[in-house]
Amino acid sequence: MASIDGLPPLREVIRAHGLSAKKQLGQNFLLDLNLTAKIARLAGDLAGSDVLEVGPGPGGLTRGLLAEGARRVLAIEKDARCLPALAEVAAAWPGRLEVLNADALDVDVAARLTPPIRIVANLPYNVGTELLTRWLSSDWPPFWESLTLMFQKEVAERIVAKPGSKAYGRLALLAQWRTDPKIVLTLPPEAFTPPPSIHSAVVHFTRLEAPRHPADPKVLARVTAMAFNQRRKMLRSSLKGLVPDIETVLREAGIEPTQRAEEIPLEGFCALARRLAG
Ligand code: SAM
**Number of domains making up the chain:** 2
**Band of the pLDDT at 3, cuts 50, 70, 90?**
confident
Q: At what angle do helices 33-42 and 60-67 cross, to 10 degrees?
A: 60
Q: Is the ipTM of this complex over 0.90?
A: yes
177-221 confidence digits (pLDDT tens) = 999 999 999 999 999 999 999 999 999 999 999 999 999 999 999
Is the CB of residue 57 below 6 angstroms from any atom belonging to ligand 1?
A: yes
Distance between CA 243 and CA 249 in Å, rounded? 8
Please tell me whether residues 201 and 223 are part of one structural domain: no
Please tell me whether residues 111 and 237 are part of one structural domain: no
Please tell me whether residues 90 and 227 are part of one structural domain: no
Q: Mean pLDDT across the stretch 209-234?
A: 96
Please tell me whether residues 202 and 231 are part of one structural domain: no
Q: Which residue has the higher pLDDT, 124 or 31?
A: 31
Structural domain includes residue 77: yes
Please tell me whether residues 246 and 187 are part of one structural domain: no
Is the CB of residue 152 below 6 angstroms from any atom belonging to ligand 1?
A: no
**Band of the pLDDT at 2, cuts 50, 70, 90?**
low
Please tell me whether residues 118 and 238 are part of one structural domain: no
pTM of the model as a whole: 0.96
Exposure string over 245-262, b if 16+ CB within 10 A, otherwise e:
ebbebbeebebebeebbb
Structural domain includes residue 190: yes
Indicate if the pLDDT at residue 97 is higher than 70. Answer: yes
What CATH number should be reported for the domain holding residue 82? 3.40.50.150
pLDDT at 124: 83
Please tell me whether residues 193 and 253 are part of one structural domain: no
Structural domain includes residue 212: no
CB 8 within 8 A of CB 58: no
Q: What is the DSSP string of 44-80?
A: ---TT-EEEEE--TTSHHHHHHHHTT-SEEEEEES-G
Is the CB of residue 142 below 6 angstroms from any atom belonging to ligand 1?
A: no
Structural domain includes residue 184: yes
Beta bridge partners of 100: 76
**Pick from 118-122, 156-160, 242-246, 267-271: least confident:** 242-246
CA of 26 to the centre of ligand 1 (A): 6
Is the CB of residue 179 below 6 angstroms from any atom belonging to ligand 1?
A: no
Please tell me whether residues 104 and 221 are part of one structural domain: no
Please tell me whether residues 234 and 126 are part of one structural domain: no
Is the CB of residue 144 below 6 angstroms from any atom belonging to ligand 1?
A: no
DSSP state of 241: T
Mutate to test the pocket of ligand 1, among 17, 27, 100, 130 (most ligand atoms within 8 A of CB): 27
The domain in which residue 248 lies consists of 217-277
What CATH number should be reported for the domain holding residue 233? 1.10.8.100
pLDDT at 125: 79
Please tell me whether residues 21 and 158 are part of one structural domain: yes
Structural domain includes residue 144: yes
Mutate to test the pocket of ligand 1, among 122, 149, 155, 202 (most ligand atoms within 8 A of CB): 122
CA of 4 to the centre of ligand 1 (A): 23
